[in-house]
Amino acid sequence: MLTTGGFDHNPALIKEYASRAEGDFSFASAGNTGDGLTMAKKAGADVIGNGSVIGFRRVIGEPAYVTEICLLMWMPYLYVNKDGKRFVNETIDYPIFYEALIQQPDQISYLIFDGNTYVETLDKAVEKGSAFKADTLEDLAKAAGIDPAGLKTTVEAYN
């Protein structure tokens, strides 16, 4: 068994091994170009995997800024879908997250966290349209296009 890292930033390998991820936004390291995978294939290795990437189906706001927002993902938070429902255990690996994400309505997810996890990064994200900020859950849900009742139920259950 050989693990070589990702290939998120190699469009040809994405097309070959993860075609459903073509055009997705990846927050993987820019060096994830599949060099190890390519060398292993040339040496005759079999390739297995689930065809997932470390990323999102799409982003709002300024895509170049989303990688910085991803730093927030190591803080206490909830992932919810547009119905306000938690759809995945936040401690799982990225490929499992990706599988759960593509099963969601419109393949949309939101990262929800409270003032205790607030950082300067969020101000910039709000300014660039890549995040939402509100004083209440209901206002947050409305601003982001999430079902307010669904989000309230999820936060009460998991917060």
Q: What span, in angstroms and rounded, lies between the C-alpha atoms of 102 and 93?
A: 15
Closest CA to 10 of 40, 34, 26, 28: 34
| Domain architecture of the chain: domains with CATH | 1-56 (no CATH), 65-158 (3.90.700.10)
- DSSP, collapsed to helix, strand or coil, labels residue 27 as coil
Q: Are 109 and 144 in contact (CB under 8 A)?
A: no
The 10s digit of each residue's pLDDT in 99-120 is 898 899 988 888 887 766 666 6
| pTM of the predicted structure, to 2 decimals | 0.47
Which has the minimum average pLDDT: 64-73, 88-97, 116-125?
64-73
Higher pLDDT, 111 or 70: 111
Q: Is the pLDDT of residue 64 over 60?
A: no
Q: Are 28 and 70 in contact (CB under 8 A)?
A: no
pLDDT band at 67 (very low <50, low <70, confident <90, very high): low
